[in-house]
A and B are shown apart, each in its own frame.
Chain A
Amino acid sequence: MAEKSTVNAPMPGVFYRQSDPEDPPFVEEGDTVEEGDTVGLIEVMKNFHEVEADGAGTVAAFLVENEGEVTADQPVVELE
């Protein structure tokens, strides 16, 4: 069984999986990510802030849907 970890929201706001509705998502389930890769955006105070993976792994699941509201420190992506 692979070890699981989560990427948590660094701030409250609205979570986006892609930078533009026309663009593909930054990552999909099953994709591998490296530390520092962008997995989503959080909009707060009219600005968009990148959510970066804090370790390498495979995206196991999204814990928040696109355009879902997140609170600070809420897990948004599960890695394994």
Chain B
Amino acid sequence: MITIQAGGVASTVQDDGRTGHYHIGMPPSGAMDPYAHAVANTLVGNDEGAATVEMTYQGVTATFDEDAVIAVTGADMSPVVNDDPIRMWEAVAVEAGDELDMGFATSGARAYLGVAGGIDVPEVMGSRATYTLVGIGGHEGRELEAGDELPVGTAGEESADRVGSACPAESIPAYADEETVRIVLGLTDYRLTEESRTELCTAEWTVSPEADRVGYRLKGPDIEFEEREQPFGAGPDPSNVVDLGYPVGSIQVPQKPIVLMQDAVTGGGYATVGTVISADRGRLAQRQTHDAVYFEAVDVEAALAAREEKAERLAAVRDHVG
């Protein structure tokens, strides 16, 4: 059991997502940075899909009711155990009664607390991910707050051997430098003017304070659409189309771009002019409010190659620690 003493800014239990229900309007939820989440689990000997605690901008203060092996990955939040700093991206042993205190994120936006055995909240529709908008999954379907008690699953026998094993330095992302994210243009980028289509991939966008797990709202130049007579069923605004499904990662443009993230709205009537490739969504999720973001257009083959490369990088970490 882990007892939360302070919940931080927006801490939730997340796993690798609630897949298979998108068609009924249920987004996947799950970790915003799947790589950091998976490494946290790998370090403590869990399956990569075990539930962790995702913390945004400011982490939790929590006490452990029993001995445990933990790993903190993702954004640098200067974690301390009983006031002693612990290394991130490394498996660490804690004892019953120990207090973990996370600070605020100095590089990156989201940190993950992995615990050997995983956070053992009940599954809802096959996942432990929290989806706060409808209040399901995770711990009571909501962000963590003081007094919450999180059950921990049974740790694998090998977890104790993992203490001290660390993610190789070259496999730790440098979040502060990761300002370019790759996109595939479409579904409806043809609706943009030539100039705006170019500008989308050259302009500096900045992350707005509204950016959250549902969508990353960006600030930057005005995006213009080709004039046309709106078809029946589309709204009057030039950015409106007749309804379509919004892929996770898709960039919709009510006026400024919004990139849909893990708690995405699944469909509607805004033009989606591009989609952030799956391998780079975690990179975007680690951009802080006011940070710069640049889009780079790639084709689908490049997106699939990047996904493969990401999987290999994770496999290399797994081979290294275990």
Contact = CB atoms under 8 A, between A and B. Distances in A.
A44 B110 CA distance: 14
B106 interface: yes
B290 A12 contact: yes
Contact of A11 (B57, B210, B212, B291): B57
B56 interface: yes
Contact of A72 (B10, B106, B211, B212): B106
Contact of A13 (B10, B105, B209, B291): B209
A14 B56 CA distance: 16
Given A43-B209, A45-B209, A45-B210, A11 B105 contact: yes
Interface string A13-46: 1100000000000000000000000000001111
Question: What is the size category of the interface that chain A forms with chain B?
Answer: 10 to 19
A44 B106 contact: no
Contact of B212 (A46, A49, A69): A46
Contacts of B159: none
B210 A12 contact: no
Given A11-B57, A71-B288, A44 B209 contact: yes
B209 A72 contact: no
B289 interface: yes
Given A44-B57, A72-B104, A12 B289 contact: yes
A73 B106 contact: yes
A12 B57 contact: yes
Given A44-B289, A45-B211, A73-B106, 14 more contacts: A10-B57, A10-B58, A11-B57, A11-B58, A11-B289, A13-B209, A14-B209, A44-B9, A44-B57, A45-B57, A47-B9, A47-B10, A49-B9, A72-B105
A43 B106 CA distance: 17
A45 B32 CA distance: 14
Interface of A: 10-14, 43-47, 49, 69, 71-73
Contacts of A13: 209, 289
13 contacts: A10-B57, A10-B58, A10-B104, A11-B58, A12-B209, A12-B289, A13-B209, A44-B289, A45-B209, A45-B211, A46-B210, A71-B290, A73-B106
Contacts of B105: 11, 72
A13 B210 CA distance: 9
Contacts of B290: 12, 69, 71
Contacts of B289: 11-13, 44
Interface string B197-216: 00000000000011110000
Contacts of A69: 209, 290
Contacts of B209: 12-14, 43-45, 69
A12 B212 CA distance: 13
A56 to B, nearest CB: 21
Given A44-B209, A72-B106, A12 B288 contact: yes
A14 B289 CA distance: 9
3 tightest A-B CB contacts, nearest first: A12-B289, A11-B57, A45-B212
Nearest to A45: B212
A71 B104 CA distance: 11
Contacts of B10: 45, 47
A73 B58 CA distance: 11
A45 B288 CA distance: 11
Interface string B29-64: 000000000000000000000000000111000000
A45 B104 contact: no
Contact of B104 (A46, A47, A73): A73
A69 B105 CA distance: 17
Contacts of B106: 72-73
A46 B211 CA distance: 8
Nearest to A44: B209
